[in-house]
Each structure stands twice: as structure tokens, then as C-alpha cells.
């Protein structure tokens, strides 16, 4: 059963949570991915394992954390390690799914979080990779969560901070990257995947009330469209109740 009123943030959280399967080991960051991981663990994936960059492993927090080093994440954790240890898990191929943000993402799922414009004379200097390059290179799959705006979806990123499918088919493998690459891009307008042959971005669903024309107008490259294009399934009443219980003070999720 679905509830009529929900926000785009809530829909994005639910779409992200649906990418998590039970028993997955997930590298979780701050923001909507954290809420999505909490939601998945409370519903269809009770045995998924949350890994945080701070070194907290397999926790069962009761309240939303304000960052990956928040003591709230320690509750019920199997292990408290450190950054070096959890990135070692990535290198060993132990992470099933990682969540990523982006300032820009291009048609091959490459991410820029370093500069807007020329690297040496940038219009905007951004924070850089953090752990994103490691996650995108080494996790089995990644999910990108980003606002869908024309400036964020150029045909080619201004700077390649984090690899997607690089220049297309075979290029990840040629670069020696073991991860499968991006699986989904969840935006404020819809959910996108990648074509198995071309490695280009493909629209899989548009959010309720959004048209393909609106999505294309906010994208700097030609979008491919899945043959079974659908409307993104809305949150259920129970999912909305849990999201609002997980983040009651709107720390990350803008709610109705």
C-alpha cells in the first residue's frame, strides 16, 4: 500500500534502499545513503552489513548519525576498526555495494568532485575524492545519488575524480579496475542504469509526475531509454513511516 504524499528525498531513499539485498556488505556514507541503509535493514535486508569509513562495522544504530564518525553508529557494532582496515576490505573485494555522490556525472558514470572548469583555473574548487575513487574502483557495484540538473550531467566530466565506465566498453578492465562499475544513478527525476553493451546511461524509470522530456532537458547528453521504461514505484505507507522515524528531525531527508 502506498501513501499519496511523499517528497523527492523520500522517494530517492526508497529507490536506494531497493538496491540493497539481504546479506550484502555495503559501504555507507553520510546523507540519503545512510537513511537508505537504515531503511533496508529495517525491512527487506535485516542481515545486510553496514561499513562506515570511520571503521565502524556491522552496527545496529537506533538513531540517525550526523556523520560516519558519530558515536550513535557504535551501537551493536561487530567491530570498531579504522579507516585503513575498512579500505583494506575494499581492496580484498569484500564490499558488495558502495554509495557515491557527485558534483558532475557523465554518460559513462564517471564522477567529478574535484573542480568545475579547468583544473588549473577552476570556476569552483571542490573537496576531491575522499574515498570515492577507492569505492568506485574496488566495490563490486556502486550506486550514485545526485540531484538531476543540467550542470551536473555533462557529456564529459570536467575532471575525472572517480571512474565509472571511463570511455566505454572494456575501458575499466583495461585500466585494471576489479569492480563492476556503477549499477544505478538515482536522481531527483528518476532512476537510471547502464547499457550492458555501450556502457552508456539508460533511463529505467521516471519519478511520478516527471516526463522523459523534462529529464532530457536537464541532461547534457542523449539519454538512452529502457524498452520497459516505467514510473518509479512510490514509497509504501510503512516505508514512509520508517523513514520519518529514522530521521525525525529532517537531518538528511526533506519530508512533507
Q: Are 237 and 1 in contact (CB under 8 A)?
A: yes
How long is the chain? 256
Count of C-beta atoms within a 10 Å radius of residue 12: 24
10 Å CB burial of residue 23 (0-12, 13-18, 19+) is: exposed
Distance CA 167, CA 174 (A): 11
Q: Is 53 assigned a catalytic role?
A: yes
Cβ atoms of 50 and 37 closer than 8 Å:
yes
Give me the catalytic one of 10, 53, 107, 141: 53
Q: Please say whether the beta carbons of 13 and 20 come within 8 A.
A: no
Q: Output phi, psi for 125, to 5 deg.
A: -100, 130
SS3 62: coil
CA distance 66 to 177: 32
Catalytic positions are 53
Amino acid at each position: 500500500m502506498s501513501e499519496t504524499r511523499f517528497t523527492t528525498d523520500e522517494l530517492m531513499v526508497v529507490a536506494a534502499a531497493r538496491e540493497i539485498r539481504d546479506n550484502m556488505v555495503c559501504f555507507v556514507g553520510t546523507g540519503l545513503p545512510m537513511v537508505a541503509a537504515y531503511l533496508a535493514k529495517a525491512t527487506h535486508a535485516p542481515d545486510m552489513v553496514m561499513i562506515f569509513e570511520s571503521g565502524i562495522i556491522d552496527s545496529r544504530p537506533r538513531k540517525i548519525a550526523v556523520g560516519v564518525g558519530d558515536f550513535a553508529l557504535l551501537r551493536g557494532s561487530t567491530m570498531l576498526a579504522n579507516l585503513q582496515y575498512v579500505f583494506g576490505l575494499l581492496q580484498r573485494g569484500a564490499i558488495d555495494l558502495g554509495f557515491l555522490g557527485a558534483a558532475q556525472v557523465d554518460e559513462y558514470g564517471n564522477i567529478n568532485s574535484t573542480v568545475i572548469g579547468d583544473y588549473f583555473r577552476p570556476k569552483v574548487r571542490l573537496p576531491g575524492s575522499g574515498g570515492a575513487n577507492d569505492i568506485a574502483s574496488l566495490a563490486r557495484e556502486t550506486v550514485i545519488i545526485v540531484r538531476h540538473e543540467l550542470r551536473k550531467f555533462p557529456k564529459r566530466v570536467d575532471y575525472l575524480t572517480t571512474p565509472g565506465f571511463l570511455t566505454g566498453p572494456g575501458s575499466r578492465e583495461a585500466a585494471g579496475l576489479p569492480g563492476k562499475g556503477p549499477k544505478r544513478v538515482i536522481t531527483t527525476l528518476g532512476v537510471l542504469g547502464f547499457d550492458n553493451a555501450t556502457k552508456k546511461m539508460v533511463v529505467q524509470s521516471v519519478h511520478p509526475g516527471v516526463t522523459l522530456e523534462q529529464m532530457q532537458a536537464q541532461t547534457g547528453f542523449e539519454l538512452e531509454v529502457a524498452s520497459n521504461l516505467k514510473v518509479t514505484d512510490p514509497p509504501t505507507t510503512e516505508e514512509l513511516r520508517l523513514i520519518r522515524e529514522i530521521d525525525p528531525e529532517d537531518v538528511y531527508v526533506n519530508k512533507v
